[in-house]
Amino acid sequence: MLKNSPTNNEYILSWIGEMAEMCAPDKIVWIDGSEEQTEALRTEACASGEIIKLNQEKLPGCYLHRTAINDVARVEGRTFICTRTKEDAGNINNWMSPDECKEKLTKLYRGSMKGQTMYVIPYSMGIVGSPFAKYGIELTDSIYVVLNMLIMTRVGFDVLYAICDSPDYIKGLHARAQLDEENRYIVHFPEENTIWSVNSGYGGNVLLGKKCFALRIASYLGRHENWMAEHMLILGVEYPNGETKYVCAAFPSACGKTNLAMLIPPEYYSKKGYKVHCVGDDIAWLRVGDDGRLWAVNPENGFFGVAPGTNEKTNPNALHTTLKDTIFTNVVHNTKDNTVWWEGLDKNPPTEAIDWMGRPWDYRKYDKNDKSTCGAHPNSRFTAKATNCPCLSEEFNNPMGVPISAIIFGGRRAKTAPLVYQSTSWQNGAFVGSIMASETTAAASGVVGVVRRDPMAMRPFVGYDMGDYWQHWLNMGKIIPNPPKIFHVNWFRTDGEGNFLWPGFGDNMRVLMWILARCEEKIDARESAIGYLPHPEDICIEGLKNVTLDTVKELLEVDAKSWLEDVENIKAFYEQVGERVPNELYTELEALENRLKK
Ligand code: SAT
Ligand code: MN
């Protein structure tokens, strides 16, 4: 079956041979990245019903896909890190021994592709040929996966030429099998550069270049090679004088990374000539540059964004990005004009429509407080090309990436965390990242809206022990001569009645400007128990309707009592992470507690 292969690499050929023998596909097709082959696959997937071709006048190149009803989000409970020892995976990850895992999954894979095609996708995370790029090959039985990978990564035979005869690439195997929830597994063998995924067809579980490779495996590689793989957006703020400053920001899934990355400055700033450019919306690979600064690349080539809530006001750039060449997953199908819709798109839900489960949908039955009446799944997504984004940075394809002035951590917290504060050092900043917490969202299966600790927004994505990961952060601080400053933000603080105090979206620029002013040491701040806080009048509120100086004061309040409760929760979390929590972080925690008690 492997005759006429586009590579002679024995490592690749023997691995594919082994996987094909196990999965028993009828044939093997190499994905070359050409428009011709891609179009043929789209046609085939339309014919089988796997995707639906949308109105090509209104949405050229756009398609709709529905996943199985039981398969709509990442499954953290079924995600495993299979290192040789359990200690290396740590207490926060699920662990299985590599041998046990392979034995178990081999049974699930065996014969699973009978009667089907195995697609071989050679892809690059990062620009092919650049020193920062890493290569992977994903084997899959799903055309949907192929079409998504063609958008999200750089696919083609140039990747095979770049790998050449090296064994150095990430081996990914995906089979939908029966889409059986009970036997769904997303497993990583970081010591073997291998990812296995079975019984799912949903994005984060099956687009193996994304969370599995670019975060879990890459974080493991980064630790050994002195770089960092982080769950961060990358954006540039261009000043009226033409200079651009870049920041990275880590937020948990479905907390607005895509919105922040594509922010449109409020009029107050745009009139003066400020612009924002998007380099990435989800993942950053960070390395120390020759100039002693930290440099970031976005290893992806597209956006896998949350659809609900995306509209002309919240994120016009994302909306425009999705108007062509996009695959929509689990949104509403407007059958009258063959387009798509989701909650929060506009005030005109379609009158003839099919919901994400494939059932007729009556918008009049929609109840904002009852998620089960939604037409689009709360975690429905668009897969869109980065190059279609109106505010994409000119540096997007720069193989060296961009220099980072600030790292921003953020969670979704109704209380406790202020709008913004600055850490006092790299070590203190790593501590601030380690104590991040956020209310859970629909991006992962499970209860939504409960606060959980999500260090660096990486809880589900660190490919090794969390304590070691924090140690790696501390170690990196020692090898970056000119490190970025580290901040924490919270856009989601509410008043006594549960209303958001801060408008968010484009107005988050106001906070970014304070952050950048701090980086350039152009502005003063107040020392507090948790770090540096802005003087309230330094957050620009010109042109904001419902925000007064008093609102800003409220947003910046640090309530020692609720922070001390948080400290107890952090202690419990550190205990759970276990023995490898670095002493420096305990020192930071103790110091924080003492300052709060003063
Ligand atoms: O499902 S993905 O992991 O790809 C998206 C997310 O949860 O951030
Ligand atoms: Mn993400």
Q: How far apart are the first and last CA of the chain?
A: 72
Is the CB–ligand 1 distance for residue 377 below 6 Å?
A: no
Q: Cα(141) to centroid of ligand 2, in Å?
A: 24
- Could you give the dihedral angle defined by the CA atoms of residues 239, 245, 251 and 257, in that order, rounded to the nearest 10 degrees? 50
How far is residue 292's CA from residue 289's CA, in Å, rounded to a whole number? 5
210 pocket-lining for ligand 1 (C-beta < 6 Å) = yes
Do residues 199 and 178 make contact, with C-beta atoms less than 8 angstroms apart? yes
- Pocket flag, ligand 1, residue 216 (CB < 6 Å): no
Q: Which residues pair with 439 in a beta bridge?
A: 451
Using alpha carbons, list the distances in angstroms from residue 110 to 102, 380, 541.
11, 31, 61
| pTM confidence score | 0.97
Give yes or no: 255 in active site.
Answer: yes
| Token duo for residue 225 | 């090679």
Q: Of the bound ligands, which one is closest to the alpha carbon of residue 329? A: 1
CB distance 59 to 326 below 8 Å: yes
How many whole angstroms separate alpha carbon 492 and alpha carbon 503? 9
Q: How far is the CA of 210 from the centre of ligand 2 (A)?
A: 9
433/23 Cα distance (integer angstroms): 42
* Spatial distance between the Cα atoms of 434 and 539, rounded to a whole number of angstroms: 26
SS3 content of the chain, % helix, strand, coil (to 5): 35, 20, 45
Dig out the tokens for 160 from the structure: 């095979």
> What structural domains and CATH numbers belong to the chain?
10-30+73-225 (3.40.449.10), 230-298+396-597 (3.90.228.20)
What CA–CA distance (Å, rounded) separates 125 from 131? 11
Alpha-carbon distance of 454 to 456, in angstroms, equals 6
Written in H, E and C, the secondary structure of 277-296 is EEEECCCEEEEECCCCCEEE
Residue 257: predicted pLDDT: 94
Distance 205 CA to ligand 1 centre (A): 8
One-letter amino acid of 214: A
The two beta strands, 194-198 and 185-189, are: antiparallel
pLDDT at 3: 76
- Catalytically annotated residue among 212, 248, 255, 278: 255
Strand partners, 451: 439
Angle among Cα 215, 66, 316 to the nearest 5 degrees reads 65
Residues of the chain with pLDDT under 50: none
pLDDT in tens, 96-107: 999 999 999 999
> Can you tell me the distance from the alpha carbon of 330 to that of 390, in angstroms, rounded to the nearest whole number?
25
Structure tokens at 117: 């095609």
In one-letter notation, the amino acid at residue 136 is G
- What type of residue sits at position 23? C
**Using an 8 Å Cβ cutoff, are 191 and 84 in contact?**
yes
Report the run of H or E that residue 577 belongs to, with start and end: helix 560-577
Q: Tokens 């035979």 sit at which residue?
A: 157
Which of 294, 271, 298, 301 lies closest to 285, judged by CA?
298
Looking at ligand 1, which residue's alpha carbon is closest to its atom 8?
Answer: 253
* Percentage of the residues of the chain whose pLDDT score is greater than 90: 94
